[in-house]
Amino acid sequence: MLDRRSLLAGGAALFATTACSRSTPGLGGGGANPLPMPPLLDARPGRSFALRVQSGTTSFYPGRPSDTLGYNGSYLGPTIRVRRGDDVAAVVTNGLNADTTVHWHGLLIPGELDGGPHQIIAPGATWRPTLPIRQPAATLLYHSHVHGLTAEQVYSGLAGALLVTDDEEQGLGLPSEYGVDDLPLLIQDRQFENGRLVMPGGMMVAMQGRRGDTILVNGAVNPLAAVPNRLVRLRLVNASNARIYELSFSDRRSFHWIGTEGGLLEHAVALEAITLAPGQRAELLVDFTDGRSASLVTAADTNSSMMGGMGMMGRGARRTDAAAPATVLRFEPRPLGQARASGVVPTLLASRTGPDASKAVRRRRLSLNMGMGGMMGSGSGGGGLTINGKPFDMNRIDETVKLGSTEIWEVSGEMMRHPIHIHGVHFDVLTRGGGQPDVLDQGPRDTVLVKEPVELLIRFDQPAKSAPFMYHCHILEHEDNGMMGQFSVA
């Protein structure tokens, strides 16, 4: 069980299990749990919302309370919905005994509003940013981003979905009944011992990030979603610390991929599987008119470093790469709500003019490095977890970018796949490994998987002068331990 005093102290690891552990067999009776739906905080008509960062207890299994963190509750946070064109007043109060921040992941706003490591909210303090919403409809994410404690605070529950809507999206006739046929799904892997949440620690956690033996959706173990027997919109959010999901349906049914981190695609893409890395989001349309139950499943977790293959397990670290696919969420179609037509996948989703590669004025190269020091879990700075050989330094600006300019950033990773996230921008993938981008690279992105060199085309339209933007690996233990840099835009 997470120790609350350690959880709120800040700096040191919260809790490290001393042995590989599984959930106690039979906990929860083996039955399904109804999928919880986060409360909806709609910023209209008042164009404002309030969050309280707080500690609490959560029983993931009956009678087995765990100490957790949440926004306006004990674990995770409400879904926040904002509208393009509004200026939204946020009121964020820190009820913890430790520093925290709230990063609006994917929101295109100036650096001083971004909620990164420079916008610390001290215990008992309230942060009151006004967020200008000037981007297309999209599924975003908000979460803690306090340097050195991001991984621990997110693992403990500090994350939630942030939805942007606009007239163009609403005119498409997409499923839009929140919690019925329009479902935000925060996917996480967590580790349990005797039904209580524990926090893995040790060498391999520093190297590969925290991974768990149990998959949660919206904080629920073994969730079951009752959905209408019609077209349903799934807003997938990877809120895990490190795990990459290779998602498909148990009956191999196809679905339509309609949105990335940056918003809707121009055209829907028919797929049978999709990859979702930490920090990434994907919007899917799934047709349940046949009335057949199906499960969303994920393939084996194989994004391990070379040391994982050598069997060097840290204390409490657990590999979750069993051969059989793991069930993420079961769907049971039913006649729900007012009967209406299934709906049709629109031919054209969103018109978009991306950045022009011919206008790029500069090329930068970022290498996400993993040296031996990073394997030892040496704390902030990581010893070997760096970008371009430099561990993160809050007092150093690594790159200076001109406001309104377009650049090409070439990013590559070492030893494993890394999800690179860049604050304050959306980008397009130009090339991967010197060739054409993958099918799943298309659309406006803010997070992308790299190992082989990937070229990103970026236009910088948000200022970051008084406070810089971050770029970092979104394996949260990697960013906490040094695999992060920062840039100014002026």
What is the b/e burial string over 263-301, where b = at least 16 CB atoms within 10 angstroms of the residue's CB?
Answer: bbbeebeebeebbbbbbbbbbbbbbbeeeeebbbbbbeb
Interval 93-114: pLDDT, tens: 999 999 999 999 999 999 999 9
Q: 140-154, 210-224, 372-386: which has the minimum mean pLDDT?
A: 372-386
Q: What is the pLDDT of residues 414-439, one digit of tens each?
A: 999 999 999 999 999 999 999 999 99
* 54 beta partners: 70
- pLDDT tens digit sequence for 255-296: 999 999 999 999 999 999 999 999 999 999 999 999 999 999
| Residue 401 burial (C-beta neighbours within 10 Å; 0-12, 13-18, 19+) | buried
Q: In this predicted structure, what is the pLDDT of residue 302?
A: 79
Q: For position 311, what pLDDT does the model report?
A: 36
CATH for 180-301+323-332 (3.20.20.60, 3.40.50.970, 2.60.40.420, 1.20.1090.10) = 2.60.40.420
pLDDT digits (tens, 9 = 90+) for 430-471: 999 999 999 999 999 999 999 999 999 999 999 999 999 999
- For the domain made up of 355-487, give the CATH fold: Immunoglobulin-like (2.60.40)
Distance CA 424, CA 231 (A): 33
Higher pLDDT, 15 or 170: 170
pLDDT value for 300:
86
| Range from 105-109, 137-141, 328-332, 367-371 carrying the lowest mean pLDDT | 367-371
187-218 as b/e: b if 16+ CB within 10 A: bbbbbbbebbbbbbbbbbbbbbbbbbbbbbbb
* 144-153 residues labelled b (16+ CB within 10 A) or e (exposed): bbbbbbbbbb
d(CA 353, CA 330): 38
Q: Do the domains 355-487 and 180-301+323-332 match in fold? A: yes
Q: Which carries the bigger pLDDT value, residue 344 or residue 282?
A: 282
Q: Is the pLDDT of residue 84 over 50?
A: yes
Q: What gap in Å lies between CA 377 and CA 382, rounded to an integer?
A: 6
Give yes or no for residue 125 having a pLDDT over 90: yes
Q: What is the structure's pLDDT at 383?
A: 54
Structure tokens at 303: 């994004």
pLDDT at 467: 97
CATH code matching the domain that covers 32-165, chosen among 1.10.600.10, 1.10.8.80, 1.10.150.120, 2.60.40.420: 2.60.40.420
How many C-beta atoms lie closer than 10 Å to residue 11's C-beta? 12
Domain range summary for the chain, segments of one domain joined by +:
32-165, 180-301+323-332, 355-487
Higher pLDDT, 348 or 469: 469
Whether the Cβ atoms of residue 136 and residue 168 lie closer than 8 Å to each other: yes
Q: How far is CA 213 from CA 67, 186, 222, 243, 256, in A?
A: 18, 17, 12, 11, 29
